[in-house]
Amino acid sequence: MDFPTVLARLNDLPSTFRRNGPPYTQLIDSIARALAGFTLAADATEAQVSAFTVALDGWLDVWGLLWGVARQQNEANSSYGTRISRTVLAWVGTLPAIQAWVSFYAPGGTVVDNYPTLGYSITLPPTMTPAQVTSFLRSLNRIRPAGMPFTVNQTASGIFLGTQVFIGTGLSQAPYLTGTAINLALALNPVTPNTVPIIPTTFMSDPTINPSLAA
């Protein structure tokens, strides 16, 4: 409830209990202002608990951890919220699912089916750091089909051989793009791990929290 709503509730009294003008109106206004501070905070808390789309900061972390998606270091609310929703709603198991996952977590990467043999190959862009590559490989556990062989490569960055090219605004170094890819070693199991329960286990064992377990 906001201030006008709280004030209307306080003034919802028979006329014999109300007075016209100050100091009565000043007193009621001050009480309503104080109560509105609590009600606004309570409404905001309830909204963030009940609606993922309005959750921010710590409450957004709570939503993410419920689904096993932790916030990355210095990750903004907007990008974290998008990552949570895309992770939870992501396709799973098929080649298009892998392609959609790569397009979001590794923009510029490609996925190619190894037809006629089994499996597929993922090529990551050269701009990804080793830490980002490791994070991406771990995230694949949510999407990749269990037991399907695959390889991960990273496009080699271009090299500069000291040549120059004119582009109309002065001299610029001319890169020779190698176009090759470097195979990355995978520290992943060949199967997709089972889902790990992330709700508090006391809920399933404590009769005080869950009365249905009481003898």
In order, the DSSP letters of 31-54 are HHHHHHHHHHHHHHHHHHHH-GGG
User: At CA 179, angle to CA 177 and CA 183, rounded to 5?
Assistant: 130
Please say whether the dihedral angle defined by the alpha carbons of residues 13, 16, 20 and 24, taken in this order, is positive or negative.
Answer: negative
Task: Quote the CA–CA distance of 162 and 85 in Å, as a whole number.
Answer: 46
Beta carbons of 139 and 109 less than 8 angstroms apart: no
42: nearest Cα among 97, 7, 1: 1
In this structure, what token pair is assigned to residue 2? 């906001």
Phi first, then psi, for residue 162 (nearest 5°) are: 80, 5
pTM: 0.52
- pLDDT by residue for the chain (215 residues), tens digit each? 778 887 888 888 787 777 887 888 888 888 888 888 777 777 666 666 666 777 777 788 888 887 778 888 888 888 888 888 888 888 888 888 888 888 888 888 888 888 888 888 888 888 888 888 888 887 887 788 777 788 888 877 654 444 455 455 554 444 444 456 676 666 665 555 555 656 656 656 767 766 777 76
